[in-house]
Amino acid sequence: MGAPPGSVLFGYAGAMLTRVQSHLLQGIDALACEVEIDLDPRDHGSQIVVGLPDAAVKESLERVRSAIVNAGYPNPGGRLLVNLAPADVRKEGPVYDLPIAVGLLLAMGVVRDSREEGVDHRRFLFSGELALDGRLRSIKGAIALASLAKEKGATGVILPAANAQEAAVVEGIEVLGAGTLSEVVGLLNGELACEPTASPDIAGLLEHAPPEIDFAQIRGQEAVKRAILIGAAGAHNLVMIGPAGSGKTMMAKALPGVLPALTPEEAIEITRIYSAAGALEAGQGLVVRRPVRTPHHTASSPAIVGGGIVPRPGEISLAHRGVLFLDELAEFPRFVLETLRQPMEDHVVTIARAHGTVRFPARFMLVAAMNPTPRGDVAPGEVGRREMDRYLSRISGPLLDRIDIHIEAPAVPVKQLQGAADGTGTAEMRERAQQARQIQLDRQGTPNAALSGKQLDSLAELGETARTLLAGAMSELGLSARAYDKIRRIARTIADLAGGGAIQDDHVSEAVGYRLLDRRQ
């Protein structure tokens, strides 16, 4: 009788079947993929890859053969069938080069199928792209691969050395990084010793991740800094309206430094998204700062939301747990902006395709900036006001309904530009925002921006004078009814910044001032 399924020899002399474990990416998650190699050196028939492979996977056989030969091993001649299971899920990318090569070398006897010495290939997952000379190139989704190995109870993963630090973020598994195919063979045969890559000190990395831009570098704009502080404290979306050169972009990029520090779980979650999208920088094992994404106003809807034949995360998912900054908001096509409404409510993007549905996380803080007119300034008098109203009307009411704070960012006077940079800094703003956010988490478990109308009635109760003030403001300023809850949420956050007590009249007055665009509807 032949050897049982899963062994190197399978039933009949000459023909050999091997199995190597790998993965496939579906969204940002990894699914198990078994790479089966059926090699018959007696038959000079076809060489086929089956199992719904894309073009890159079909081309892998040529890369693998060249890599094997150029690494100094025999040419794997004969009929070859590679099956990628499960066969009903599409496979993409060059990640199967290494598992196919290992399977072929097992079938040829170059890699010894021994459990007593070396690394037992049955206990490891493999992934990697091969260069023609046998070098291993980096892949997407290494952290998802490591998570899958841990979930399946595998010993560890063998992958390109460039991805080892990223995969090592997942604790509890061995991460063996290799630079070449020859190194992988040496590991499997026990001819090369390799220490697993150590897991990084995630908490330490996050603690020593200073902000890229300090608000102390930004001259003037103290009123805008105050609005940004409120937005960061309560996770409120925000739009800045002002002329070009007033510092809107710089302040948006400095905002993540004010937000609460990333937790290890959040950092790993963000890294998974960036890894799946191939957006990690070379040598970067972990995203340690809250991301800021700044798509151009010519970006398409799939680029913003995500999509493609094989769905990939868009800008709003790459901004997960961070900031999505839309500069020149009114220049974005209206239909693109409308696609943001559902993710802003549900904090997730669902992309349906014929072969399945993929969900990407999208919990971001929207920060937008825009000029008051297409020219960037406002003409005096009634003509200028009408021109500004027409320009602002490009943004739909339902989208504005999801932006809590509207703040004007005026041009900075020359005197302030020439003076010393002694304004409010990031460290002070961050400490205050974190204290207010902690009050909210202790009280209701979520930031104030997520409070429902029912929660507002109990947590943002207004006194008699505050209710009268709010009613008068809505009537005199022509504020819409939808602004009512927004103002109460903002007032609740302002009160939390003041220590978490009851909402006062001045808190309501300040909150009303942040509904600038409602007055023009």
Strands (E), 166-264: 174-178, 238-241
pLDDT at 379: 62
pLDDT at 269: 95
Residue 16 has pLDDT above 80, yes or no: yes
Tell me the average pLDDT of the chain: 87
Residue 10 has pLDDT above 60, yes or no: no
pLDDT at 4: 36
Q: Are residues 438 and 467 in contact, defined by beta-carbon separation less than 8 angstroms? A: no
The tokens describing 436, both together, are 């207010």
The tokens describing 150, both together, are 């841990």
pLDDT at 8: 39
Helix residue spans in 325-481 (DSSP H): 334-338, 341-346, 381-392, 397-400, 414-418, 426-444, 453-459, 464-477
CA 425 to chain centroid: 27
pLDDT at 271: 95
Residue 7 has pLDDT above 60, yes or no: no
Give 37's Cβ-side CA count (13 Å radius): 28
Q: Mind listing the pLDDT tens digit for each residue in 38-49?
A: 998 877 778 899
pLDDT band for position 11 (cuts 50, 70, 90): very low
Q: Mind listing the pLDDT tens digit for each residue in 159-184?
A: 999 999 999 999 999 999 999 999 99
Residue 30 phi/psi, 5-degree rounding, is -100, 140
Closest CA to 459 of 437, 442, 469, 444: 444
Burial of 208 (0-12, 13-18, 19+ CB in 10 A): exposed
Q: Are residues 286 and 202 in contact, defined by beta-carbon separation less than 8 angstroms? A: yes
Q: Mind listing the pLDDT tens digit for each residue in 93-148?
A: 899 999 999 999 999 999 987 666 678 899 999 999 999 999 999 999 999 999 99
- Of the listed ranges 2-11, 310-319, 482-491, the one predicted with least confidence: 2-11
CA dihedral sign of residues 287, 293, 299, 305: positive
SS (H, E, C) 263-325: CHHHHHHHHHHHHHCCCCCCCCCCCCCCCEECCCCCCCHHHHHEECCCCEECHHHHCCCCEEE
The tokens describing 158, both together, are 């063998």
pLDDT at 115: 63
Residues 373-404 as b/e (b if ≥16 CB within 10 A, e otherwise) read beeeebeeeeeeeebbeebbeebeeebbbebb
pLDDT band for position 12 (cuts 50, 70, 90): very low
Closest CA to 350 of 326, 399, 317, 321: 317
pLDDT at 120: 87
Residue 392 has pLDDT above 90, yes or no: no
More confident residue, 210 or 474: 474
> Averaged over 283-300, what is the pLDDT?
90
Q: Mind listing the pLDDT tens digit for each residue in 245-261?
A: 888 888 988 999 999 88
Sorted by where each starts, the structural domains of the chain and their CATH numbers stand as: 16-189 (3.30.230.10), 207-214+228-424 (3.40.50.300)
**Which residues, in sequence order, are bridge partners of residue 406?**
239, 515
pLDDT band for position 34 (cuts 50, 70, 90): very high
pLDDT at 424: 84
pLDDT at 219: 81
Residue 14 has pLDDT above 80, yes or no: no
Name the percent of the chain lying above pLDDT 90. 55
The tokens describing 481, both together, are 């009814």
Q: Are residues 239 and 370 in contact, defined by beta-carbon separation less than 8 angstroms? A: yes
> Averaged over 344-357, what is the pLDDT?
82
pLDDT at 15: 60
Q: Mind listing the pLDDT tens digit for each residue in 354-389?
A: 667 889 999 999 999 988 877 766 666 666 677 777
